[in-house]
Amino acid sequence: MRALEVIAVSFYLVVGSTAVPQPLCDSLGTSTWTVQNSNGSIRVGATVPGGIYTDLRTANVLTEDIFYRFNDINYRWVAKDNWTYSTFFDVDPKMLKKDKVYLEFEGLDTVARILLNSQLLGETKNMFILYRFEVKNLLKTSNNSLEVQFTSAIWAAKQLSTETPYPVPPACVPQEYHGECHANYIRKMQASFAWDWGPAFPSVGIWKNVLLRAYNVAHARHVGIETRPDVTDWKVSVTLYLDVATNVTGMLSSTLVLKKYNITTQMTVSISPQQNNATLVFSVPKDTVQMWWPNGYGSQPLYQLVVGFQSDREITQTSVRIGFRTVKLVQVDAVPNQPKKGLTFFFRVNGLAIFAKGSNYIPAHILPELGAEPDLLRRILTGARDANMNMLRVWGGGIYESDLFYQICDELGILIWQDMMFACSMYPATDEFLATVATEVTQQIQRLQHHPSVAIWAGNNENEAALAGNWYGTQANFSIFKADYIKLYVDTIQPIIQKLDKTRSYVTSSPSNGQESEKEGYIAHNPYDGRYGDLHWYEYTLNLWKSAIVPKTRFASEYGIMSLPSLESFSNITLPEDLSLSSELMMSRQHHLGGYMQMIFEIQYNLYLPVNVDLDTFIYLSQINQAMSIKTETESYRRERSSVDSAGEGLTMGALYWQLNDVWQAPSWSSLELSGKWKMLHYFAVDFFAPVLVSPSINVIKQLRVHVISDLQLHSSLNLLLQISVYNWQSLTPVSTQFYPFTLKGAGVVDLGSWNSESYLRSVAGCQAGGHPEKNCFFYFSILSSNASTTLGPNNFLFPVALRSINSPPKANIQVVDVKALKNGQELIVTLGSDAIAPFVWLDAVGIAGHFSHNGFLLVTNSTQLTFSAEKPINVQAFRSSLKIRSLLFPPNANRRK
């Protein structure tokens, strides 16, 4: 029995209708496919869904991993050829008895001609569109031939670039990317032509399923949902989007499946090919459902909603899971009655102001057909949840993610900032281009709108800033490109979203000044104005461990610093001679102009970098620098949530660092490696995104200030203690401990006071050696219960001086004292011992997939315990043998503790 029929049976039971015919559907992905190149010299078996690189690799035409050494360049010939996918298939005679039979392509990448039984059905030019063709008159019961003739995306983009009235910049990606040109002319994943964090693999292929669908009346395609709370009820508006074959009147029905009872609503509606949707409204008593909340604010209950249309000839239906919640982007005067102080920019979910904590999501794989793999998606998204994230921004240079991606986000409570797929370019505004975009946006909003995780739609990534800032030499023809910008994001995309989704906000760009950008004609004079909207901020020349340089903003939607992935990540894609920072391979993998020099520059602000540093040590130092830099910046943003300065800046309510995941083994801004391995940054994110956090900072005049940041919604105040300990680098026993009582009332920031850091340390007897207390000692902070019996939130620390300049640094001897296995060997308890303070203790379970409960930590006790969660059971001895432990390398020092 087909899955569709299973759902239909449940519908009959709920609604009580008599059985009537249903649409029929067969997947052609199960057929035997082949693919061949333009001259027929290569012909191999193919997989649908799939892509040309995966097919050639499976057939061993590509004999090495696509990421091995220089294969991103060596295998470019694949993308420069044309490829034809073909199959033969039979058709169930029952299908041919239906009035209409359609051939549906859920995703073709990208420019293709489709032939069925040697007849041209049509052409495709958009990777993000579902294409459907009426084919009943062309079908036979057996031996139907189907061909999908793909044109090289590289050559198609080049050809498209010659068909516009004027060049639309930028023509090519920077030379360092080793990429291809004219990505902005083709509706394809923009990053597939290369980015500064990823390779160019401009694939072709049938990247989603191919279906043969037959019906007499209609097929239920998507469901749109609006949930609005009333005094006692939720008002639910349900819109069913249908593919309609003929004019007909019938019954629109919906059934909300609850534990205690089901709510069923019906109404008579008329549909037609021109009027292909229908809406009904019903009420749900509030006491029968629970609200859906972002991660950290509550649970994520989801309810099945079955929606269908029935006429006397046919019944069609679909099922989605929905959540009951409201979401609103709030842009009001930041300071009442002072409009010059700007507007707020934050999300209110279920009436509660939410501080958005998270990251930016790029495609899970550079080959789009591999990016929807369930285990891969769940590993990445669960990693985000486990790091206390509640929002991810789906970046506009990738793809609209798979249904499964959003379903997992619904389950985990991860809000989605959803960009449309436009990034870092101007785009054509021809009638043909705008028409395909209109179809693209319509389909994607209809597909995604019902997900409670989706919080906002955004038109593009950085294109307002690019136009305002003349990134691509557009100033000479500014009026032309501004007009094109408005045609695309304002005149085409905005009305579609506003029509299809009345529950969420749309901003034309990110970053943007939001409503202020709209007032200024959608291209703000300064899209980075800290009093409005969201901000992208990168800095590669200043010391990012100093919070004083962090800008103030309403919402930080991008910020980051590079690091290298683990040496283990390179093990299967390199030769030994590749494993040095100056090797040809490592230089080829660095796509960011001056990237290594910037990393060296940033590391040397705070850490000792040996002259002839080995790659493994450089990786470790780069990850320390990345983790500390993003920690510093994120905590700065979180501290600003409750304050506004005289210029109107502050009131920050979002921190989404760049970037969450990787697409290959290379320097990048990610916190998760391609394999899923956590970098040090991801471990740090667990703490700096914690619901309650003590956050210290030192300003330019050496004033130490301590804040406690809280996301908690409390029914009553908590009486707590701030513990400030001072450690001398030479001792595991603090040389000073002070307690400061305070009251935590709920969400917000508590300023616990300020001290002159030099004076504070000078007053501590154990810090006086050599007359430089700041080089001898550091601060350590904890939040304790009022009786000091328990700790609330993670501990924190602050180094008064750069670690490369401390006096007599310790040399810790760290040992594995014990390893115990729990949960059938998938969770291991590791006990460490140390004879000295050890900063940035890093444990690496080489060759074992999983992550530690904490890592990269500052060890200030002679014993500590942590857990390792493995992806599959592991032998304790094998795990223990795999462990490598290191802590910070200090410069040679005659006064070093022996």
The CA–CA distances, whole Å, from 676 to 115, 488, 554, 840 equal: 41, 37, 31, 21
Dist CA 706 CA 63 (whole Å): 57
Residue 401 catalytic?
no
- Residues 217, 311: contact at Cβ < 8 Å? yes
CA 107 to chain CA centroid, nearest Å: 21
Comparing CA positions, the residue from 179, 554, 573, 587 lying closest to residue 397 is: 179
Residue 462 catalytic?
yes
SS3 801: coil
What's the CA dihedral at 539, 544, 547, 551 to 10 degrees? 10
CA 224 to chain CA centroid, nearest Å: 23
Comparing CA positions, the residue from 15, 659, 175, 754 lying closest to residue 383 is: 659
Angle at which helix 595-606 crosses helix 615-639, to 10 degrees, equals 70
Dist CA 896 CA 394 (whole Å): 48
Max CA distance (Å), the chain: 94
The first and second tokens of residue 516, run together, are 């202020």
State which H helix or E strand residue 604 sits in: helix 595-606
Residue tagged active-site, from 440, 558, 602, 649: 558
- Cα 742–748–749 angle (5° rounding)? 55
Comparing CA positions, the residue from 108, 143, 130 lying closest to residue 221 is: 130
Residue type, 889: L
State which H helix or E strand residue 783 sits in: strand 777-785
The first and second tokens of residue 652, run together, are 């920050």
Task: Give one DSSP letter per residue of 45-61, joined into a string.
Answer: EE-SS--HHHHHHHTTS
- Residues 154, 183: contact at Cβ < 8 Å? no
Residue tagged active-site, from 314, 462, 464, 649: 462
The first and second tokens of residue 331, run together, are 């842009």
The first and second tokens of residue 690, run together, are 């914690």
Q: Which H, E and C letters describe 180-220, residue by residue? A: CECHHHCECCHHHEEECCEEECCCCECCCCEEEEEECCEEE
Comparing CA positions, the residue from 672, 599, 629 lying closest to residue 359 is: 672
Dist CA 167 CA 427 (whole Å): 10
Dist CA 327 CA 177 (whole Å): 39
Dist CA 252 CA 242 (whole Å): 11
Dist CA 544 CA 633 (whole Å): 8
Phi-psi region of 79 (alpha: psi -120 to 50; beta: other; left: phi over 0): alpha
Comparing CA positions, the residue from 462, 337, 841 lying closest to residue 620 is: 841
Which residue do the tokens 């649908």 mark? 48
- Residues 154, 202: contact at Cβ < 8 Å? yes
- Residues 419, 394: contact at Cβ < 8 Å? yes
Comparing CA positions, the residue from 386, 384, 393 lying closest to residue 416 is: 393
The CA–CA distances, whole Å, from 154 to 186, 188, 396, 487, 632 equal: 9, 11, 20, 26, 42
Comparing CA positions, the residue from 653, 629, 628 lying closest to residue 639 is: 653
Q: Which H, E and C letters describe 461-506, residue by residue? A: ECHHHHHHCCCCCCHHHHHHHHHHHHHHHHHHHHHHHHHHCCCCEE
Dist CA 361 CA 867 (whole Å): 27
DSSP state of 13: H
Active site residues per annotation: 462, 558
